Homo-oligomer: A and B are copies of this chain.
Amino acid sequence: MEHMDHAEQKHTAIENVSAFLKLLGDPTRMTIVAILSRRECCVCELLEVFDVSQPSISQHLRKLKDANLVKEARKGQWIYYSLQPANPHYALLQEIVGRLPEPSVQLRTIEASQAANRCGNG
C-alpha cells in the first residue's frame, strides 16, 4: 500500500490474527461459533444454550458480526445467524472448530427447546 488515507489504520497480519483469536477467546463466543458451524440459529435458539441474558448474546453476536465472522439473515421477526465463509480467517476457524468436540449437547438443547417451534423450525 502506497499511502494510507484519512483515518485508515494499518494492521499487521499478526494484529489481525490475534484480534480474530481474541474473539474466539471467550467461551460463550467460541460455543456460539461451534454451534453455527453446524447450523444457522436465531438468537432465541442460542439463548436456550447459555445462562446469560438476551442482550448478552446479542452483544456477542454483534462483535462476531462486526468482525465479519458471522452474517445475519432476517426471516420475519427472527434474525438467523450463520458463519460467514467469506471471512479471511474462515479456514483457520474451521481448523479450530474441527478440533473441538461436536456441540451435540447444545444442538440437542436447541432442538428440544420450545424456541425451535416458536421460530417455525420444528
A-to-B contact residues, CB < 8 Å: 12-15, 17-19, 21-27, 29-31, 34, 91-92, 95-96, 99-101, 103
Q: How far is the CB of A103 from chain B (nearest CB, A)?
A: 8
Residues of B with C-beta under 8 A to A101: 13-14
Q: What are 25 pairs between A and B in contact, CB < 8 Å? A: A12-B27, A13-B100, A13-B101, A14-B27, A14-B30, A14-B34, A14-B101, A14-B103, A15-B27, A17-B30, A17-B96, A17-B99, A18-B29, A18-B30, A19-B25, A19-B27, A21-B21, A21-B22, A21-B96, A22-B22, A23-B25, A24-B25, A25-B25, A91-B99, A92-B99
